[in-house]
Amino acid sequence: MGCPRESRIEIERQMLSPLASRAELSKGRIKPEPECVIRTCYQRDIDRITHSKTFRRLKHKTQVFLQPEGDHYRTRLTHTLEVARISRTIARGLKLNEDLTEAIALGHDLGHTPFGHAGEGALNKYTKFEHNVQSLRVVDVLEYDYKGMNLTHEVRDGILHHRGVGTPGTLEGQVVQLSDKIAYINHDIDDAIRGGVLNIEDIPKEFVEAFGKHHGQRINSMVTDITASSDGKDKVAPSKAVGALIKSLRKFMFDNVYFGSTAKAEEGKAVDMIAALYEYYIKNIDKLPQGIRGLGCSEEQMVCDYISTMTDKYAIYEYDRLFVPKGWGIR
């Protein structure tokens, strides 16, 4: 048997679009490493992310509903997996590098705070905090006992540019940027209906007519449109009509679910909790884990690093430990 990685590289040469990112042409890692015999550099990055503690913690981080008791609500972990699946399908349709899209998708939200965007907003009062920038910090610095994952340039670029200003430098990164939106708009509709925040009849007719009534139909319609309109082009985008509809469906979700709905009723408490933890740790830097204190960054950065790595569950545990008086036990 020859080298499995070499065979994979050959398949990429033959099968992928000339516009795709090929593993053999990667700009490489910050610290050069010998190649794996079996896996390409992007396949290796998928494994590094999946085996990290930060990835496992996504299961206890909020997507939209805080600490949901129902088993079927999305968490940051299931959101990430849905983004990875949608990304791979679009990449396959466009003959782009599926492994690269999967690695970017699995890593894109690693920097999310506890309690979703409410937690991010709370930290933003103290220092500029953006979860995409923090995701890059997780993979570059914080994971693997503060040694970082040493991922490839293309995966790091896609993680950093999955939102905010700037466009990803690869088409695979653009695929993840769009797949993130497709995933959350659709699964948040599903969860909002499950939680009684929306009724299926509330979704305006124009969206149902364009995308279908059910979760799978909606995703399939969007993915099919993006794949058809981006084939052979140097930009991944939906058709004009579908792009406008996705934009207004997203606005519908902001107006009816993401802001001010009953799903958000507890968010004020989550913001206060994060603020209290920040105030405590900025005055008690010596109580931060030794690894973070050893990073040599500003105190604000250390506290943000520590709080942003927490799950919803752990933030509540820490708050309880630090601020809620304990009863006197039986002696």
Residues near Mg ion (CB under 5 A): 109, 180
Supply the minimum distance, in Å, between the C-beta of residue 162 and Mg ion. Answer: 7
Supply the minimum distance, in Å, between the C-beta of residue 33 and Mg ion. Answer: 28
**DSSP symbol at 3:** -
Supply the minimum distance, in Å, between the C-beta of residue 80 and Mg ion. Answer: 7
| Rounded Cα–Cα distance for residues 301 and 298 (Å) | 5
| DSSP character string of 151-193 | -BHHHHHHHHTTSSSS--SSHHHHHHHHHHHHHHHHHHHHHHH
Segment (H or E) for 39: none
Segment (H or E) for 124: helix 116-124
Supply the minimum distance, in Å, between the C-beta of residue 69 and Mg ion. Answer: 23
12: Cα within 13 Å, side-chain hemisphere: 25
Supply the minimum distance, in Å, between the C-beta of residue 120 and Mg ion. Answer: 12
In the bound state with Mg ion, the residue whose beta carbon lies nearer, of 109 and 318, is 109
Supply the minimum distance, in Å, between the C-beta of residue 63 and Mg ion. Answer: 9
Distant-in-sequence, close-in-space partners of 50: CB < 8 Å, separation ≥ 6? 106
| Pair 153, 162: CB distance under 8 Å | no
Tokens (6 digits) for 94: 């466009």
Name the amino acid, one letter, at 240: K
| Rounded Cα–Cα distance for residues 67 and 290 (Å) | 29
The residue count of the chain comes to 331
Supply the minimum distance, in Å, between the C-beta of residue 315 and Mg ion. Answer: 19
In the bound state with Mg ion, the residue whose beta carbon lies nearer, of 150 and 174, is 174
In the bound state with Mg ion, the residue whose beta carbon lies nearer, of 23 and 189, is 189
Q: In Å, what is the CA distance from 195 to each residue of 115, 261, 272?
A: 17, 11, 24
Which 3-state string (H, E, C) describes 103-122? HHHHHCCCCCCCCHHHHHHH
In the bound state with Mg ion, the residue whose beta carbon lies nearer, of 35 and 130, is 130
In the bound state with Mg ion, the residue whose beta carbon lies nearer, of 102 and 180, is 180
In the bound state with Mg ion, the residue whose beta carbon lies nearer, of 120 and 225, is 120
In the bound state with Mg ion, the residue whose beta carbon lies nearer, of 180 and 318, is 180
Supply the minimum distance, in Å, between the C-beta of residue 110 and Mg ion. Answer: 10
In the bound state with Mg ion, the residue whose beta carbon lies nearer, of 12 and 180, is 180
